Amino acid sequence: MGKESDGSKPGSGPRSRQTSDAYKHRLKRMRDQGLKPPIARHGGDKTKTTPQFALDCGWGRLVFSQTFEDSGAMIAALRGEQPDRRDIAVYVRNPHVLLANAPQELFLDPSHTYRLDLSRYRASRKRPKGYFIRRLTSQADAEAINRIYAARGMVTVPPEFFWAKRDARTIIYFVAEDEKTGEVLGTVTGVDHMRAFEDPERGSSLWCLAVDPSARHPGIGEALVRRLAEYFTTRGAAFLDLSVLHDNEQAIALYEKLGFQRVSFFSVKRKNPINETLFTGPADDQALNPYARILVNEARRRGIHVEVVDAEGGFFRLTHGGRSVLCRESLSELTSAVAMSICDDKSVTRRIVSAAGVRVPEQLADGASPDEISEFVRRCGKVVVKPARGEQGRGISVGLSELDEVEKAIAAARQVSDTILLEEYVEGEDLRLIVINFRVVAAAVRRPPVVVGDGERTIRELIAAQSRRRKAATGGESRIPLDEETERTVRDAGYGLDDVLDPEVHVAVRKTANLHTGGTIHDVTDIVDPVLVEAAIEAARAIDIPVTGIDLMVKSPSRPDYAFIEANERPGLANHEPQPTAERFIDLLFPLSVPASVKRIR
């Protein structure tokens, strides 16, 4: 699921005619106990005291409008929003009046509110497989939640905030943990309105539901929602509310499946940079793929003019001051035709970077005799066959040890390129390093797609289901092809496509980790070894290319052993969030647009 595709930053609560009376009773109790009333607000000769409750959630505040007596007080509260945070006024009684009083500052959030009647909720008999749901318990959990937030384009939270709230009674955090790896796969936040502001309607709300885009297990979002609903049911809550963007059809379908019903409550937010796409209206870039859109969005945030030239092909023109640059995704006019031609031919790439001192695997050029091929396979043990020209993993066969398999792979590779290469197979992980302006901006391990058995479905059916999830998580960019390479990989693992896998049995269904063929991406920027960083920079300098994705085969991203595989002249920068790949790309094109705060850091 994409940003907010799991209902990220949803939420909220009820209104009641009895609310004002309830707060009067609350104030009376506080005075009787010698406590200070929440907020005193003076107007004319009269003094009114109201709770004016706003809950800090780390990413911003929830401003509960039913605790405010007039729009002026709410506007004043929203003006207290901190930088890089997203405050949300929920349950706004008269949004048209509120907006009329601050039209330049506020906007009506284009989200629907959904409510689950907890008295009618029924728990599922189906238990999660391969993962379990638990409460946040450690600082590592907090860091993992932020990693997922960043991957989903959500506002991150200071880790110490999560940890400080781990035992709070108002805010509750649940995470989904992989049973085998211990990795946090998803998260959800709940707010108890009764604990927060003594809500007379006994409400609760769901916020920040997010699942790791690389998670393989199905149903994580549903399991998190159910766990939160069951938690609040035991706490005596009457309902669970959430809000979801009006066009997020996938998330809406999930909520309606669980019994949520739409209710007519409204939310209001401030016009800040985080919310920009929600109040500026639709742009002309909806047809762009994710790799072009991430760059277009970053350009617009800086006031750079964007002209979409050809959305289907990913072409756009950026103009700032007197400078105009035509781009195709991360490929721009700054990349020379010579650099492109070097990257286009893998045999040339290998020679160029090898001459610069970068380690490369042994290779057999096209035109070798059958005896030479046989000797090469025998000497290497396993080989890789790939087209000299091509991208997105097409025509590549990995880990071949039998001569007849090599011959079939050569024939398949020739359908992609007239020239093919045989290369020594290097064991390890596939590491992609993004180099922009000869600096490594991001590093990620790319892993081949794996299916997990459930004792019911065939491998073919599991692959189809995994493909649907990868397609949804990547905007249609990733899927697992049911081709000869997939069949051979499954056969090498000792299975057939129509075999039923036992529960929790893991089987890799491709040997290449390319995103377009179902691979997953895992950020390792913070732990990559300096030797690998230097190798990537040296390769980029040898090719003389300003933006590139350098692929290395490594034992571990934190160890110096590597072998250069290839260089990509048009790397997918959207694959490396939360690293600032789009920001550094725009910095390269328009240095004068770099924010002053970033310039000071540098």
pLDDT band at 583 (very low <50, low <70, confident <90, very high): very high
Report how far residue 153's alpha carbon sits from residue 37's, in angstroms, rounded to the nearest whole number. 39
Q: What is the pLDDT of residue 80?
A: 94
pLDDT band at 98 (very low <50, low <70, confident <90, very high): very high
Other CB atoms closer than 10 Å to residue 250's CB: what's the count? 15
Arithmetic mean of pLDDT, 152-162:
90
Find tokens 């200070």 and name the residue: 36
CATH 3.40.630.30 segments of the chain: 114-263
What strands, in cross-sheet order, belong to the sheet with 547-554? 520-523, 439-447, 429-436, 547-554, 562-568
Q: What is the pLDDT of residue 587?
A: 94
Q: What is the pLDDT of residue 242?
A: 97
Greater confidence, 280 or 268? Answer: 268
Q: What is the pLDDT of residue 381?
A: 82
Q: What is the pLDDT of residue 14?
A: 37
Mean pLDDT is lowest, of 18-22, 129-133, 169-173, for 18-22
Count how many residues are written for the chain: 602
Report how far residue 425's alpha carbon sits from residue 397's, in angstroms, rounded to the nearest whole number. 10
Burial of 213 (0-12, 13-18, 19+ CB in 10 A): buried
Residue 45 has pLDDT above 50, yes or no: no
Mean pLDDT of the chain: 85
Report how far residue 317's alpha carbon sits from residue 336's, in angstroms, rounded to the nearest whole number. 17
Q: What is the pLDDT of residue 482?
A: 85
**Cα torsion angle, 145, 146, 150, 153, sign:** positive
Residue 115 has pLDDT above 70, yes or no: yes
Arithmetic mean of pLDDT, 7-31:
43
Measuring CA to CA, how many Å separate 520 from each of 111, 182, 188, 230, 310? 30, 18, 23, 32, 28
What strands, in cross-sheet order, belong to the sheet with 420-424? 363-364, 420-424, 383-387, 397-400
Mean pLDDT is lowest, of 198-212, 279-293, 358-372, 491-505, for 279-293
pLDDT in tens, 338-382: 999 999 888 899 999 999 999 998 888 777 788 888 888 888 888
Greater confidence, 489 or 87? Answer: 87
Arithmetic mean of pLDDT, 21-25:
50
Arithmetic mean of pLDDT, 532-541:
97
Find tokens 């401003």 and name the residue: 63
pLDDT band at 43 (very low <50, low <70, confident <90, very high): very low
**Topology of 114-263 in CATH?**
Aminopeptidase (3.40.630)
Greater confidence, 404 or 390? Answer: 404
Arithmetic mean of pLDDT, 29-46:
40
**Topology of 362-425 in CATH?**
Dna Ligase; domain 1 (3.30.1490)
Measuring CA to CA, how many Å separate 451 from each of 335, 375, 392? 39, 35, 21
Q: Which CATH superfamily groups domain 336-360+428-448+520-571?
A: ATP-grasp fold, B domain (3.30.470.20)
Burial of 121 (0-12, 13-18, 19+ CB in 10 A): middle
Q: What is the pLDDT of residue 48?
A: 37
User: Could you tell me if 358 and 539 are in contact, meaning their C-beta atoms sit under 8 angstroms apart?
Assistant: yes
CATH 3.30.1490.20 segments of the chain: 362-425
Q: What is the pLDDT of residue 269?
A: 96
Arithmetic mean of pLDDT, 547-569:
94
Other CB atoms closer than 10 Å to residue 400's CB: what's the count? 24
| Ordered DSSP codes for 480-538 | ---SHHHHHHHHHTT--TTPBPPTT-EEE--S---GGGT-EEEE-GGG--HHHHHHHHH
Q: What is the pLDDT of residue 590?
A: 93
Contacts of 362 (CB under 8 A, 6+ apart): 380, 423, 424
Q: Is 336 helix (H, G, I), strand (E, B) or coil?
A: coil
SS3 sequence of 240-290: EEEEEECCCHHHHHHHHHCCCEEECCCEEEECCHHHHHHHCCCCCCCCCCH
Q: What is the pLDDT of residue 21?
A: 53
Report how far residue 333's alpha carbon sits from residue 329's, in angstroms, rounded to the nearest whole number. 11
Report how far residue 483's alpha carbon sits from residue 461's, in angstroms, rounded to the nearest whole number. 14
Q: What is the pLDDT of residue 454?
A: 87
pLDDT in tens, 411-432: 888 888 878 888 888 888 899 9
Arithmetic mean of pLDDT, 97-102:
93
Contacts of 424 (CB under 8 A, 6+ apart): 361, 362, 363, 380, 383, 384
Arithmetic mean of pLDDT, 156-164:
88
Residue 2 has pLDDT above 70, yes or no: no
Arithmetic mean of pLDDT, 82-107:
92
Residue 478 has pLDDT above 90, yes or no: no
Q: What is the pLDDT of residue 285?
A: 66
pLDDT band at 392 (very low <50, low <70, confident <90, very high): low
CATH 3.30.470.20 segments of the chain: 336-360+428-448+520-571
Q: What is the pLDDT of residue 592?
A: 83
Residue 111 has pLDDT above 60, yes or no: yes
Report how far residue 557's alpha carbon sits from residue 428's, in angstroms, rounded to the nearest whole number. 10
pLDDT in tens, 182-203: 999 999 999 999 999 999 999 9
Q: Is 12 helix (H, G, I), strand (E, B) or coil?
A: coil
SS3 sequence of 496-507: CCCCECCCCCEE
Whole-number percent of the chain with pLDDT over 90? 49
Q: Is 200 helix (H, G, I), strand (E, B) or coil?
A: coil
Q: What is the pLDDT of residue 281?
A: 64
